[in-house]
Amino acid sequence: MTVSKEELYLLAKNVEWQYKLDEYTDNQLKTILSITEKSQKELTATLSKATITEWSEERTNKLLSEIQTLQTGVKASITEGIADASSLAGSAAYDAHSTILSFSGAATAVVGASMTAETLKSIIVKTPVGGNLLSEWVDKSFTSNLQDKIKKEIAAGLINGDSYRAITKRLSEGFPGTKREIETLTRTYVASVNSQAMQDVYAANSDIIKNVQWRAAMSNRTCLRCAGLDGHKYKVEDHPPIPLHPRCRCVLIPIVDKTSLGLSKSDVQKAARPYSIREGKIVGLGGKGKAIDAGTWAGNYDSWLKSLTPQQQKDFLGPRRLELIQSGNISFEDLVDRRTGRIRTLDELSDYKAKKSEFGDKVKMGMAAKKAEEMSKMALAKSMKESAEKTAAGIAKAAVEKVAENLAIKLADKVAKEMAEKIAKEAAEKAVKDALDLSMKAAAVSTKKGIESSIIASVEQKNY
Ligand SMILES: [Zn+2]
């Protein structure tokens, strides 16, 4: 699959911006985490001041409440620190995404979007993320890690008869867990605000941006879930949540059209998609492996992965998934549900092909049934048509017959009448003729008789 020059430019600029954002977050984290470190030292000091020689519930609770008081201020400072860091990053992200989308101002049709850090901070503090407010997340990361650990350590200490010093030492070591959670929380907040800025900039340009493309970081340490979505197209308003998980490095690249952006041919500089290969396997939550190789690649994650060594592919996919892909049972795009961004389990994938073909069969069967239904409908229509034709023909025939009958009657009437007239005429003529003949005969007879009588008379006269 090829990527347009415009998309590559947007992708490269987005990756570049993410690195800048990471750098900024790293610096902010130093400040935020130093607060946690300070709290750790104070906690250790509090614990060492306590001259408890034997553990009791009362003393334990007293110690816990002391730790809690100490932490309240620390938690407030950390919440403030994360809110500051993410609101400043977010405000910069609005500018960055506006600049990226406008191709540094060259795309004249692009509208920018901006947000002040103050406004953002008030939103960040008041808006729940994943069901919790920022302050509640901070509270949880302390409570779950530390409070529980302290209780457990004290209980274990009681059972094992550990020395007080050993327990304190273990408690101090328990802090890195909290630190890790605070770091994840900070990165998640910065990433969420950045993603929101990106989506707001796209929304401001909804007339020219309708669709976006999911782009995962092209690295062997990218998680499978994100890599599986690489290259998939979504509607601007309908895609899996981004970031998809803590430390997700994915971006949504708008699918743009040069003309609608108001770009001219020469505006887009040559850009390519960077990749990096680091030591080790995928680390779900990031982590830093030594860089082995970096470069550029023009295709999707799928095609890039195939260019890696068999071992690197195996490290990334795991042996079963690699096997399923290589055997042709599944394709790379089957690994993740592209609608939700959920990773498919090995169980689901193992009979995926069968299920897919079963589904395909069902579709086929459905189509066949539909076709049969259509055909029977057609047959029915045909027979109905034929019967209608028959009926029509019958009616027509009957009509014709009736007409003929009527005609015949009329004709017969006429004929009969004419015949009768003719017969009558002939009869009349004959009668006249006969009468004439008769009268002529009669006349002849009488003439004859007259002649005869005249002759007789003359003869008689002669005789006289
Ligand atoms: Zn991701």
Q: Angle of helix 164-173 relative to helix 5-49, nearest 10 degrees?
A: 160
Judged against a pLDDT cut of 50, whether residue 183 lies above it is answered with yes
**What is the reported pLDDT for 239?**
93
Alpha helix stretches (DSSP H) within 233-351:
258-261, 301-306, 310-317, 319-326, 346-350
Judged against a pLDDT cut of 60, whether residue 271 lies above it is answered with no
pLDDT: which is higher, 124 or 4: 124
* Rounded average pLDDT over 308-313: 87
Judged against a pLDDT cut of 60, whether residue 456 lies above it is answered with no
Cα 153 → chain centroid: 50
Using alpha carbons only, what angle is made at residue 416 by residues 412 and 418, rounded to the nearest 5 degrees? Answer: 115
Distance 451 CA to ligand 1 centre (A): 153
Alpha-carbon span 33 to 25, nearest angstrom: 12
Residue whose pair of structure tokens reads 């401001």 in the numeric block: 204
Can you point out the beta strands (E) in 27-125?
Answer: none
Distance 242 CA to ligand 1 centre (A): 7
**What is the reported pLDDT for 286?**
46
Ligand 1 (ion): which residues have CB within 5 A?
A: 226, 244, 248, 250
Judged against a pLDDT cut of 90, whether residue 97 lies above it is answered with yes
Distance 238 CA to ligand 1 centre (A): 16
Percent of the chain's residues with pLDDT above 70: 62
pLDDT: which is higher, 2 or 241: 241
**What is the reported pLDDT for 233?**
94
Distances (CA, A) of 321 to 104, 190, 220, 248, 277: 42, 33, 15, 22, 20
pLDDT: which is higher, 307 or 271: 307
pTM: 0.58
pLDDT: which is higher, 452 or 316: 316
Contact between 87 and 120 (Cβ < 8 Å): yes
Average pLDDT over the chain, rounded to an integer: 77
Judged against a pLDDT cut of 70, whether residue 161 lies above it is answered with no
Distance 143 CA to ligand 1 centre (A): 28
Report the SS3 class of residue 275. Answer: strand
* Rounded average pLDDT over 281-286: 53
Judged against a pLDDT cut of 60, whether residue 81 lies above it is answered with yes
